[in-house]
Amino acid sequence: MDLALIWHSGDPVLVSVFVLLLMMSVVSWCLILLRSSLLLRIKRGQKRFLASFWKASDWKEATSLTAHAIAPEAKLARAGWEGFIHYRSNAGKGLGLAVSLDDFLVRTLRTRLSQENARLELGLSWLATVGSVSPFVGLFGTVWGIYHALVAIAAKGDASLATVAGPIGEALVATAAGLAVAIPAVVAYNAFVRANRVIAQGLDGFAHDLHAQLLTAAAIEKEGK
């Protein structure tokens, strides 16, 4: 398994296969490291934020909590509260505001929810693509290498095991490289998809609670007037 030999052989196709696989691998690993650190931070932030958010005595305190929290729930809460304020100050003025507060809040929260989910899924399609494509890229390199090795052996006219096994063994490195790139990508993809699903479910529940909470706040305000 002599990688330097592949460079020296200078077959542009094989070299580009290896360069492509290397690039895919580097990008995948960057994504894996970045996403996993982000997910860990989100998980920790979620616990902290939810505990303090529901303990907050009033909306003022609650919104101050949302300022620097990393949890998507914080962003959702902030969006909900801002939508509530916006509705209250502009009630009946615009086309989008000619609805009940209930509908308006649902719309606001849904928009924010889809934005947060989209943010969580960043890079997942890359991982999925690499996981499914890189074995084929490696296989292509191998087939190409074996083809050329066999042509060279035919030209030499010597079909002893040593002459056949060497170049074909070299070519098989490409398949191994493709698999080495694909396996972490697939594992990471599955792990991230699951983590995202858990987060999205939590977010969904939180959105419902928030919606109810904001409507309650509006009802209390009306009673107070």
Partner 1 sequence: MIINKILVVAVALLGHSALLYGLTTMSVQPAKPKQVVMLLTPSPVPMGEDVVKQSKPQAKPRSVTRPQALKPRPAPAKAVSKVSETIKAPEQAAAGQMAAVTQAIAPAEAIPAPATAGSKNSKQISDEVPVETPPLFNTSYLANPRPSYPAQSMALGEKGRVMLRVKVSELGLPIEVELARSSGYRRLDDAARKAVERWKFVPGRRGDVAVVMSAMVPVDFVI
Tokens representing 58 are 């009033």
* Residue matched to tokens 């729930």: 73
CB of 105 to partner 1, least distance (A): 31
Where helices occur in the chain by DSSP H, the ranges are 3-9, 12-55, 59-65, 72-90, 101-120, 124-156, 161-224
Distance CA 223, CA 116 (A): 34
Nearer to partner 1, 2 or 221 (CB): 2
Nearer to partner 1, 3 or 219 (CB): 3
Distance CA 209, CA 129 (A): 37
Nearer to partner 1, 22 or 159 (CB): 22
CB of 121 to partner 1, least distance (A): 18
Nearer to partner 1, 95 or 162 (CB): 162
CB of 32 to partner 1, least distance (A): 8
Nearer to partner 1, 166 or 202 (CB): 166
CB of 180 to partner 1, least distance (A): 9
Distance CA 133, CA 211 (A): 43
Distance CA 126, CA 36 (A): 15
Q: Which residues bind partner 1 (CB under 8 A)?
A: 1-4, 22, 25-26, 29-30, 33-34, 37, 161-162, 165-166
CB of 141 to partner 1, least distance (A): 16
